[in-house]
Amino acid sequence: MVLDSGRDAVKTIDVPYVAHLARLTLDDKEIRDFQGQLDQIVAYVKIIQQVDVSGVEPMAHAVQIRNVFRKDEERKGLDRDVVLANAPVHDGEQFLVPKIV
């Protein structure tokens, strides 16, 4: 996970901030609980910092497969009524959401 350079220095996870980014609403007790659990997880993952990785190129992917492409050829997608059937609100053509501006 890429963190802002300013955040790299933070030793513990800012749980309310991370919860907000994930659009999760946590109460005070949950924040305390997750704080402990997440700090534990981070501490565990930090073990890997003991390994000397200087000179090792960061991996972009776990498997060594490259260049998986498709040709620029059209295939039919889904019918609109099927697509809209799952929407909480629609007008028969478009999805409708609470006004966003």
Partner 1 sequence: MNYSATIGLEVHVQLATRTKMFCACNTDFGSPPNTHVCPVCLGYPGALPVINEEAVRLTVMTGLMLGSEINPFSKFDRKNYFYPDMPKNYQISQYDRPLCIGGAVAIEANGVAKTIPLTRIHLEEDVAKNMHVRNASSIDFNRAGHPLMEVVTEPELDSSEEAFAFLQALKQILLYGGISPCNLEEGNLRCDVNCSVRPAGQPALGVKTEIKNLNTFKGVFQSLQYEIKRQIAVLESGGTIVQETRRWETETGITESMRSKEAAHDYRYFPDPDLMPVVLSSEQIECWKALLPELPRQRCDRLVRQYSIPPYDARVLSADKAMADYFEEACRYYASSQATRSAHAVAPSAAAGDEKLAKTGPKAISNWLMTEMLRLLSEKGIDIDQAAIRPKALAELVRLAEAQVVNSNTAKDVFAALFEQGGDPELWVKQKGLVQVSDAGAIEAMVEKAMADHPGSVADFRAGKSAALQFLVGQVMRASKGKAHPQRVQELLKKKLTTTAN
Interaction between residue 9 and partner 1 (CB under 8 A):
no
Measured between alpha carbons, how far apart are the two ends of the chain, in Å?
A: 31
Shortest distance, CB of residue 30 to partner 1, whole angstroms? 20
Instruction: Candidates 9, 45, 47, 101: give the one binding partner 1 (CB under 8 A).
Output: 101
Interaction between residue 56 and partner 1 (CB under 8 A):
no
- The encoded tokens of residue 5 equal 């350079």
Q: Which residues contact 35 (CB under 8 A, 6 or more apart)?
A: 12, 13, 15
Interaction between residue 8 and partner 1 (CB under 8 A):
no
How far apart (Å, rounded) are the C-alpha atoms in residues 42 and 48?
Answer: 11
Shortest distance, CB of residue 29 to partner 1, whole angstroms? 25
